[in-house]
Structure 1
Amino acid sequence: MTLRLGGRGWRATALVARQLAVLVFSLFVASIVIFASLEILPGDQASILAGTDATPAQLEQIRSELGLDRPAIIRYLDWVAQAMRGDLGSSLIDHRDIGQEIAEKMAVTAPLGLAALAIGIIVALPLGMLAAVGTNRWYGQAISGASQLGIAIPTFVVGIVVVRVFAVDLGLLPAQGFPADRWGSPVDAARSLVLPALTLGIAHGAVLIRFVRSAALDVLEQEWVRTARSHGWRLPLILVRQGLRNTALPLLTVVALEIAGLLTGAVIVEQVFSLPGIGQLVLTGVGNRDFSAVQGTLLFLTALIMTMTLALDLINRLVDPRLAVER
């Protein structure tokens, strides 16, 4: 049953409030999963910090200082309360503020992800529509086959290929690394991200091509398309003038679903290209058993993914009222 809240503005407000409540609950569940997953991992943080020559008394002292001797539920509640205040804690290894560390790493990961997303969309829109126009022709089938191949090939393999072509054979771009002064040298920093972004963009562009093709085929089956064709309009012109608008919403939905995969792929790509991004922070924390850093980083990434997905979903629903179903 549809509940009228006094206009579209009230319905939009109710929708946003409901989605925010779902976000808060989801983050709460995610925090439990993150904390519990790290809690059951083997290894003693006190032993790692104290070294192999530590005495039992020294280990107990370190556990007491870190609060590891307290019940897990107390440590979880303290961690969540601290995170709600915007404090993700400090590293157990170098005592650096985790929030500051994440901000430094995201200065590499965020531009990489945005550039990869832009490349994926730029690749997917024309090729997906071309595949729809030529669905029964050789070029349409070739594009569909290439997209399936792009989905199947692991990201690190794509990275190796682009490094071989653009860095080794052509010598146009650096193969690995990032400037020591980060964005103090904008041109060098941007050049360092071209190949990683291209690698990640190709992988996700292959996924988006399939969805753009499917959305474009739905457009081509509409009655108004047949009417336009009867008046002499050609299919490419129809798709450019009308199809882009009709495929925008389905593409936005898929982009929202792809955000998590984009960040996961960024972690892998950062390792291939030796980039000091968020992936390096997570893997270093796991290797050092720095669970405080890992917990804070995973919670931040989870909140980021959920928030971005929620924002895109709300935009999608508010732009297309058919999706904003009130119950």
Structure 2
Amino acid sequence: MAAPLLCVAATDAAPAARSRAQRLAVAVAQQVGVLVASLLAASLLIFLALHYLPGDAAAILAGPEATAAQVALLEQRLGLDRPVAVQYLDWVFGALRLDLGDSMLDGRSVASQIGEKLQVTVPLCVAALLISVLVALPLGMIAGARHRTWYGHLIGALTQLGVALPVFAVGLALVTVVAVKWRVLPVQGFPPDRWADPAGAIHSLILPTITLAIPLTAGLVRFVRSATIDIVADEWVRTARAQGWSIPSVLMRQGLRNAALPLVAIVGLELAGLLMGSVLIEQVFALPGIGQMLLKDVGNRDIVSVQGTLLALTSVIMIVTIALNIVYTLIDPRLRGSK
């Protein structure tokens, strides 16, 4: 009878596996659809908001002494005299080809400038995020599992301080102590040849990365701590402890996955704050990243460059958020309708 039973079990398992795969595929397709719709809505919002800003971009670029004919000629050269719908569609279809137009100031390709600046901003943000996750997960689990002990209270107090401190204040303090007083690391700047000098690039990013990671780590520790407290209070944890398992063993074997769930969700929510924080950090440490480029272009009223940069940043945030949502779905089967 063993062979028929095995055949029946295998026959029942195959449709179930296909059903789970289909539900997962539907969930992923839904996330991709949300991404496409969100990007279209964001592009329209960015374009209209910048297009209808007070002031005439062509007149500002032409200068205060330009005549009306010179301003009209500049508008025609920049394509600003065309209907708004035509300008928007031309920009969107160009963005689909990774062509975000040319800067109004120097005529350089906006996409190439963004790619150049991202060589600084992406390593900065990725390094800060990795450090934050690697520190927050174990520290938050310790703080949650031992939340009634003195070191549990100490971790909680430190995370409150880390969240409350302004990013630029932390950066200035690190520059003053580590770079100026101790002279261990560079004060500001980035190697002119960028990653052709890996050691110099890494040295230049150490202090900015630590500065950016401190508030992010503090926020993530608080969420992991809260999730761990809920896990420790579960019935299955009390049962495991009654069977002789220690709290660390329970968390490492069973609770790590549950503690990682809120962490994945919060990382997606914190991503926008991470990129916005990098704008301040790049100013404090004089890093030639995407944030410094955006502030310069806003000051110069370079609308083409500003809207291209905003679309690029928005796209990165949305794509990573959707990717994290898909990862969250893979980790938690309840989100794809598994029984």
User: Where on the TM-score scale, by shorter chain, does this alignment land: which range?
Assistant: over 0.9
- Give the number of equivalent residue pairs: 323
Larger Rg: 2
- Residue of 76, 95, 99 corresponding to 1:64: 76
Give, in whole Å, the separation in 1 of the partners of 2:236 and 2:58: 69
Match of 1:321 in 2: 333
Partner of 2:297: 285
Between the aligned residues of both structures, percent identity stands at: 54
**Equivalent runs, 1:70-219 vs 2, <5 Å:** 70-219=82-231
Question: For residues 256-288 of structure 1, what are the alpha-carbon distances to aligned partners after superposition, in whole Å with 9 as ceiling and x for unaligned?
Answer: 111111111111111111100000111111011
Q: CA deviation at 1:320?
A: 1.6
2:322 pairs with one of 276, 293, 310: 310
Cα separation, 1, equivalents of 2:259 and 2:223: 9
Q: What is the deviation of 1:73? A: 2.2
Match of 1:273 in 2: 285
CA distance in 2, matches of 1:104, 1:210: 35
2:21 matches 1:9: yes
Q: Judging changes above 3 Å, is the alpha-carbon distance between structure 1 residues 12 and 228 closer, same or farther for their aligned structure 2 residues?
A: closer
Task: Give the alignment's TM-score, normalised by structure 1.
Answer: 0.94
Give 1:64 shift.
1.1
Q: Which runs of 5+ in 2 are unaligned?
A: 1-15
Measure, in 2, the Cα distance between the counterparts of 1:12 and 1:123: 31
* Matches of 1:229 and 1:202, distance apart in 2: 34
Q: Write out per-residue CA displacement over residues 36-88 of structure 1, whole angstroms, 9 at most, x where no aligned residue.
A: 11122223222232222211111111111111122222211221122122211
Tell me what 1:28 maps to. 40
SS in structure 1 of the partner of residue 287 of structure 2? coil
Query: Partner letter of residue 164 of structure 2?
Result: A
CA contact (8 A) 1:266 1:279 kept: yes
- One-letter amino acid of the counterpart of residue 266, structure 1: S
Q: Distance in 2 between matches of 1:231 and 1:170?
A: 53
Unpaired segments ≥5 residues, structure 1? none
Aligned 8 A contact 1:215 1:247 in 2: yes
**Superposition misfits of 4+ residues, deviation over 4 angstroms:** none
- Do 2:127 and 2:209's aligned partners in 1 also have CA atoms closer than 8 Å? yes
Equivalent residue number for residue 54 of structure 1: 66
Asked whether the 8 Å contact 1:43–1:289 carries over to 2, the reply is no
Q: CA separation in 2, counterparts of 1:231 and 1:253?
A: 32
CA RMSD of aligned residues (A): 1.8
Deviation at 1:228, TM superposition (A): 3.0
Please, what TM-score do these two structures have when normalized by structure 2?
0.91
